[in-house]
Amino acid sequence: MQPWWLDATAGPSGWDVAIVEQDGRIVAALPYVERRLLHWRLLGQPPLTQHLGPWLAPQTGKRTTRYTNEHKLLTSLLESLPKASRYLQNWSPERMNHLPFHWVGHEATVSYTYVIDYRDDDFETGIDSRIRNDLKKAKNRFGVEPVEKADIDEFIRLHRLTFDRQKIAMPYSLDLIRRIDAACAARNARTMFFAGDGNGTAAAATYVIWDERSAFYLMAGSDPDRRHLGAGTVALWEAVKKMKDRTERFNFEGSMIKPIEGHFRRYGGRRVPYLSVKGTSSFTLQCAESLRTSARRLRRSTSDSP
């Protein structure tokens, strides 16, 4: 939610924020990125930003008072947003109450990430035996060693190879990656961990950003022809170990894709839920239904053609 992060990730299109003030003090805020699709206005979040959603000033008093104030602030934020065809954001795990949004028709689905809390978790002993075996195999059989260095060009090379292997286009631009790297580097808020077998070229890399509260596993990359080395596991585990001395938590920015979730789970973090909140205007729903009906008719007429 930091302005400098939103500047870097939103890019030229920019971002805006709904705020609520009391006695000249900001007590609630909801940043968003606006996109246009034809005549539709879409409110969301920038790429490579796992969470956005509402921020509320800490509430005090009895539980009933805190809950009531929270509802009022969320309602005020909702009313401060511009009218839009769709709203879609992932909220922080700290913000699990979406009732005021639910009451006006917004839906929420639960997603999960894995988080290691260095203050409470014995992360060194918590990893799965398969991760331990992969680490031993990478080191003892292939001589894989990690190194921490700031080399954005080398990271981008490996990151692009990951998408090339899957034969899919990168969902964001290289310019975005370089903007993020420059913004984080200026604030000493990023690092990269590489791993290879000593031939002078890295086989995998992990890109981590952090603040005083948490580190985030933002991006990764690997050489598809050298995946058997286990360098990706070595680079990620080195990041988990090294970030212990710099912040309080390590957030894997989890995935709902089964193989990815399974891999993250084996590092021993706690499963943490967060909400994806979506709201769609009735007009947009009508348009979408009309398009679906037209598509069905087109498919039917095509299948009936001689």
The pLDDT value recorded for residue 303 is 45
- Is pLDDT at 304 greater than 70 in this prediction? no
The pLDDT value recorded for residue 292 is 54
59 conformational bin, left if phi > 0, alpha if psi -120 to 50, beta if neither: beta
pTM higher than the cut 0.85:
yes
- Is pLDDT at 291 greater than 70 in this prediction? no
pLDDT (tens digit per residue) in 234-245 = 999 999 999 999
Amino acid letter at 203? A
- Is pLDDT at 283 greater than 80 in this prediction? no
Rounded to whole angstroms, what are the CA distances from 7 to 1, 2, 242? 10, 9, 28
- The fraction of the chain above a pLDDT of 70, given in percent, is 92
Lowest mean pLDDT among 98-107, 126-135, 278-287: 278-287
The pLDDT value recorded for residue 287 is 53
pLDDT class for 25, splitting at 50, 70, 90?
very high
pLDDT class for 38, splitting at 50, 70, 90?
confident
- Is pLDDT at 94 greater than 60 in this prediction? yes
Strands (E), the chain: 16-22, 25-37, 40-44, 55-56, 86-90, 107-117, 145-148, 190-196, 204-210, 215-222, 249-251, 270-280
Q: Could you state, in order of their start, the residue ranges of all structural domains in the chain?
A: 3-110+274-304, 122-268
- Is pLDDT at 261 greater than 50 in this prediction? yes
pLDDT (tens digit per residue) in 135-193 = 999 999 999 999 999 999 999 999 999 999 999 999 999 999 999 999 999 999 999 99
CATH class entry, domain 122-268 = alpha beta
- Is pLDDT at 289 greater than 50 in this prediction? no
Lowest mean pLDDT among 102-106, 195-199, 228-232: 195-199
Lowest mean pLDDT among 2-6, 37-41, 165-169, 275-279: 37-41
- Is pLDDT at 299 greater than 90 in this prediction? no
CATH code given to domain 3-110+274-304: 3.40.630
Average pLDDT over residues 252-258: 89
The pLDDT value recorded for residue 297 is 59
The span from the CA of 230 to the CA of 204, in Å, is 9
Question: Among 166, 163, 180, which Cα is nearest to 216's?
Answer: 180
- Is pLDDT at 5 greater than 80 in this prediction? yes
The answer to whether 3-110+274-304 and 122-268 have equal CATH topology is yes
The pLDDT value recorded for residue 296 is 57
- Is pLDDT at 126 greater than 80 in this prediction? yes
Rounded to whole angstroms, what are the CA distances from 72 to 63, 100, 103? 14, 8, 13
136: Cα within 13 Å, side-chain hemisphere: 6
The pLDDT value recorded for residue 294 is 54
Torsion (CA) 85, 41, 21, 9 in degrees, nearest 10: 130
The pLDDT value recorded for residue 305 is 45
Q: What is the average pLDDT value for the chain, to the nearest integer?
A: 91
pLDDT (tens digit per residue) in 182-228 = 999 999 999 999 999 877 789 999 999 999 999 999 999 999 999 99
Rounded to whole angstroms, what are the CA distances from 290 to 37, 76, 105, 286? 17, 33, 20, 6
